[in-house]
Structure formats: C-alpha cells, structure tokens
Amino acid sequence: MRRTSLPGRAPSRRRVLGGMAALAALAATGAVGTAGCAAPAAVGRGRTRVRFWHLYGGGDGVNMQTMLDAYRAAHPEIALEASTLQWGAPYYTKLGMAGAGGRAPEVAALHLARLPGFGPGRLLDPFDLDLLAEHGVTERDFPADLWRRGRIGGAQYAVPLDTHPMVLYYNTDICAEAGLLGPDGRLKPIRGTEEFTAALRAAGKVTGKPGLVVETLGAGTIGPWRLFSTFYSQTGGTLLNEDATRITVDDAKALDVLRFMRRLTEEGLAHRRVDYNGTVGVFGGGETAFLLNGEWEVSTFANLDLPFSMTRVPALFGRPNAQADSHCFVLPHQRDRGGETNEAAHAFVAWMLKNTVEWAKGGHVPAYLPVLEEPAYLDLEPQSEYRSVIDDVALDPPAWFAGSASTMWIELGAVFSGVLTGSRTPRGALEEAKARLRELLDTPDPLGGQA
C-alpha cells in the first residue's frame, strides 16, 4: 500500500544537502533551463495555457485528477497541462531547477513547511492578492496561522490548499466491545495519558494484542518523529525559536513525551516493531483498535469495508495539537511572469480552493474555510469528523531543513525510532536529537535563506 503524503525511500543526508547545494549554485547563476518549459501566452484557438506541477500520487492523485477534469470541463478557454512528478526530493529538485532558470510552470504544489528553504523571491514569485480577491479568495478565508506561514518578507508566496494532520483511527467493533464508544457510536472523549493507556488496555483485552499500532521503524522512518512532534507540541514546547536560529527544546517536557512513547511499547500497549506498511496491515486486518497516522489512509480502509472511524488525536499533554503539514499552491519563478497566463494561474488557484470537497474525500482537511461549512463536505464521514483540527495544527519550525520529505524528519525519525523499539533511552534520544538539530543549524541554507 503506497502512502501518498509521505516519502517512500528517504534520500541520504549527503544526497539531500548535495543536491540542494548544486541547485543553489544553479539558482545563483541562472544557468538552469528546462527543455520545453517556455510557455507562450496562448495556445491553440486563443486558449491560454496554464501548467500545473504537483506530486500527488496514489489515492489523493485520483482525487486531484477528478478536480482537474472538472476544472477543464468548466473552463474550455484554458489549456490546462497538469504533470505529476515523483514525490519528495526529486520533485523539489526539479521544481527548484525550473524556478532557478525562470522557465517554470505557472502553478505548482509545495508543502507549506518547506517554503522558508525554497528561495522565495528567487525560485518562487509572490501572489497578486488583488488578483486572487477578484476571484473571491482573500486572507480571511483561511486559518490565520496557515495563511501567515505563507507570507515571507511582506509578500504572500504560498496559498494553503489543506492541512494533513496526524489523526486517531479506531476500529468501531473492537471499541464497542471494549466499552469505549458513546451512545452516538463515536469514541468517548479521552483526556490525558492515563485515560489513553486505560483505553488501550481495554481494547487489548478484546483482541489479545496491543491496542495501538504506530510506525516505529523502517528505512527512512518518520512516524516516530510525527508522534513526538504531536505530543511535544501539546506540551507547548518548541524545537527552535521563531526565526529558526536557536534550539529552544524544553528538556523536561521532551523527556515526559519520550518516556510516554517508551512506555507504550514497553508495557505492550503498542506494537514494538512495525514499519509503515505493517501499521496499515495490522489496523486494516482488524488486529488492533487504534492507529495513529496521517489521515490519508482513509481511502485504504474504506475500500476494505473495515468497521472504522477517525477522530482528532486526544489531548494527552494539555493542548489538542496534532503534527501536520499543509499542501499549498505556489508560483514558481518565471522571468516574464504576467499577462494572461498569470491571471489564469490565479483564477485556477481560486477555483481549485473553492472546489475542495473532492480533495477532502482523500482525508485532507480543506484550508479554504467556506468549504468546511458546505453540506457536501459535512456529509463526508469520517472525513468531516476531525475538521476542527484545522485550528490546532503543529507545523514544523520555519527552517530550511524542515517540512515534509525533509532532512529533519528523517534524522529525528531515526532517533525517536529507538525510543519505541527500545534501542535508545529517552534521555539518550533527546541528547542525540539536539545534537542533530545543532548540526542542521550549523549547515548554511543552500538557497540562501528567506527573502
């Protein structure tokens, strides 16, 4: 089973940094050109061409294709050319090269947490907010934090499409037998670590197996990082200061989280050794009551006719936060951006945002707030059950090495994996994590930092 919002095989640190450095050199010289990337203002019988690059494959790729087909049907005057590129580092390298040469597509997808390291002002062009407003899209239509993260140096370089947070999947049959469901058939509220562990024990008595499954190991594993990030953000702790120049880890809070993570596997409440695909198989096979994972596997489990639902990650450490990233729209740098193609690009982004009910079917929570009130969205179950998380997402700090498919995810995922499997102590993992953060902070941004 292929995960659509997480990397399949992680690149090595050397490969990532080397590739970024090479890209930076090309950006500085402007020597990069992409064959066939130059776009005329119009093609065919007066049709304006808009090219859209994205990295959506698998389940959400199907949803995206449905949206693109609907856009084409509604806009015969636009020649939309959509290209699906390989997820992760290959995608970002190609997109960066196109922007460095000024011969990029009109619109592209980006993970919001990767924006600071992607050279806004050099590899990306800012949005014209007046143009977006002409098509009914303004700042007030988005969660304040997500919109703010797209703004750098006083200009809006990213417009959020969604957020894709960690959520709690639960098997409704097992939870019913364990007495964990309310009269409405939904999971009873869980608050704090003790209530959560009690729920896991009750579920384990039904199945005879650990009550929870979460990714703990594997090549390029990042599940342990996402688990730590979720719980640590609930404590109010931070990794870095606001401008991502200094480590601000609260050791006491981080150790509380890491000791709880160790407790889950040490006490047999969660499976100790399981990779990403294994977690999908264990939960999909009805072997466990709970799965902590991104919401993008909803289609996988729905296709299995599994008795399940989804809810927000419980507030175990105070705040109701959940680790997340956000897909967003960006305008890759073009030497001659403007005119009909630029206007059409803004109109395309606005239309896509207003039509994200289809996108939500794949699990993602639309960032365009009016969609969250549409009856068609509210009728989506279980997708609409966790929509309130849009106000409590915990994005990575604004550092060049953070965000989806980033070096930080891979490095810290490997460190925290050891806590879950038992090969590292919580304190040892914390010290190693801080050491790796220091090394990343000491490594210059290959693209020269924020604009």
**Token representation of residue 276:** 């990403």
Domain spans, the chain: 13-164+325-387, 165-324+398-442
For residue 110, CA distances in Å to 134, 156, 402 come to 23, 14, 13
| CA–CA gap between residue 34 and residue 57 (Å, rounded) | 23
SS3 string, 186-227, reads CECCCEHHHHHHHHHHHHHHHHCCCCEECCCCCCCCCHHHHH
| CA–CA gap between residue 284 and residue 307 (Å, rounded) | 9
What crossing angle do the helices spanning 13-29 and 407-421 adopt, rounded to 10°?
Answer: 170
124 Cα distance to chain centroid: 20
Domain 13-164+325-387: CATH class, spelled out: alpha beta
Q: What is the CA radius of gyration of the chain?
A: 22
**Which residue type occupies 73?**
A
- Predicted local distance difference test score (pLDDT) of residue 30: 38
* Identical fold between 13-164+325-387 and 165-324+398-442: yes
For residue 335, CA distances in Å to 22, 142, 262, 338 come to 21, 30, 52, 9
> 385: which DSSP letter?
G
- Tell me if residue 35 falls in helix, strand or coil: coil
| CA–CA gap between residue 426 and residue 433 (Å, rounded) | 10
- Predicted local distance difference test score (pLDDT) of residue 82: 97
- Predicted local distance difference test score (pLDDT) of residue 46: 76
- Predicted local distance difference test score (pLDDT) of residue 1: 33
- Predicted local distance difference test score (pLDDT) of residue 447: 62
Q: Residue written as tokens 């079917």?
A: 361
* pLDDT beneath 50, residues of the chain: 1-42, 450-451
| CA–CA gap between residue 335 and residue 430 (Å, rounded) | 45
Length of the chain as a residue count: 451
**DSSP secondary structure string for all residues of 245-308:** -SB---HHHHHHHHHHHHHHHHTTSB-SS--HHHHHHHHHTT--SEEEEEGGGHHHHHTTT--E
- Predicted local distance difference test score (pLDDT) of residue 102: 76
Provide CATH code, domain 165-324+398-442.
Answer: 3.40.190.10
